[in-house]
Amino acid sequence: MKGYFDLRGELSLRDKKILSIVGTFGMVALWQLIVTITGVSSSIFPSPIQVLMSFKELHFEDAIVKNAFYSLKLNLLGMFEAVAFALPLGFVIGLFPLFKHLTEKQIAVFRYLPLTLLIGVFISWFGFYDSLKVNFLAVGIFVYLLPTVVARVNDVDEVYVQTVKTLGANKWQTIKIVFLPAVLSKTFEDVIVLAPISWTYIIIAEMQNNTGGLGALAYVAGRQSRADKAFAILIVIILIGMILDKIFSLLDMQLFKFKYVKKGD
């Protein structure tokens, strides 16, 4: 048990894996115990076995695999669009005082924007096509990502800026040598953290002119009082999120190797 109860202690990789597996099975066992003790209706709170059994219907009758890829496509397109706009805009605002002070207060307010109330505006702008859904999801990430990029620009240590200036670097060279690698390496981590936000908007986006997707599938399951199917869809979304996190983490290690160089190497 050494290290298990140390403040911010570190465990071996083997212990971490064992605890993760035990924790997962423990949560499922607790879930089953709550259902058994309370005797709650399966239409309200299904058991793990009922959720597992619903996958057969979801696969053969509801084409869950096809819907999962459709939702994944919408989310990735929305994320890429958000990054494409937030990065250059964030650099401009963070680097130049004129733009920073012109927009600083407005950017802070963006985070409180109730996007769900603006769905009608998005419909009038983009119609009922996939562009509506992609742009809606993109804005959901953009309003949080933009201030994050600006903050990352501001967080760059002035020592590095002054060092390259001393060596004769001009503004563009300073941006290229100092700001770009520093901000991009940190922003990539922020994107990994913020990407799941779009999944919270997926039902609202896919309800508009229902053309499929996990969000629309979950909404229909809820309307039909099929909590087992709704829970199963949530599990699929969580699994997709975990896989994406792993892929993005591996990409981060490949793109920004300098972050993973141990001191002394």
**Tens digits of per-residue pLDDT, 110-159?**
777 777 778 888 888 888 788 888 988 898 889 889 999 999 999 988 89
Positive or negative torsion for Cα 234, 237, 243, 247: negative
- Tell me what pLDDT residue 265 has: 52
- Tell me what pLDDT residue 166 has: 87
Asked if residue 171 has pLDDT above 60, the reply is yes
- Tell me what pLDDT residue 112 has: 79
- Tell me what pLDDT residue 130 has: 84
Q: Phi-psi category of 129—alpha, beta or left, where left has phi over 0 and alpha has psi -120 to 50?
A: beta
The fraction of the chain above a pLDDT of 90, given in percent, is: 32
The residue-averaged pLDDT of 54-75 equals 93
The residue-averaged pLDDT of 26-36 equals 90
Asked if residue 250 has pLDDT above 80, the reply is yes
- Tell me what pLDDT residue 3 has: 67
**Can you list the domains of the chain with their CATH numbers?**
1-39 (no CATH), 48-259 (1.10.3720.10)
- Tell me what pLDDT residue 263 has: 53
- Tell me what pLDDT residue 61 has: 92
How many other CB atoms are found less than 10 A from the CB of residue 249? 13
- Tell me what pLDDT residue 105 has: 81
The residue-averaged pLDDT of 47-63 equals 92
pTM above 0.85, yes or no: no
Which residues have C-beta within 8 Å of that of residue 256, sequence separation ≥ 6?
181, 184, 185, 188
CA distances from 181 to 87, 88, 121, 149 (A): 13, 14, 37, 13
- Radius of gyration for the alpha carbons in the chain, expressed in angstroms and rounded: 23
Of 38, 36, 58, 37, which Cα lies nearest the Cα of 48? 36
Which residues have C-beta within 8 Å of that of residue 118, sequence separation ≥ 6?
none
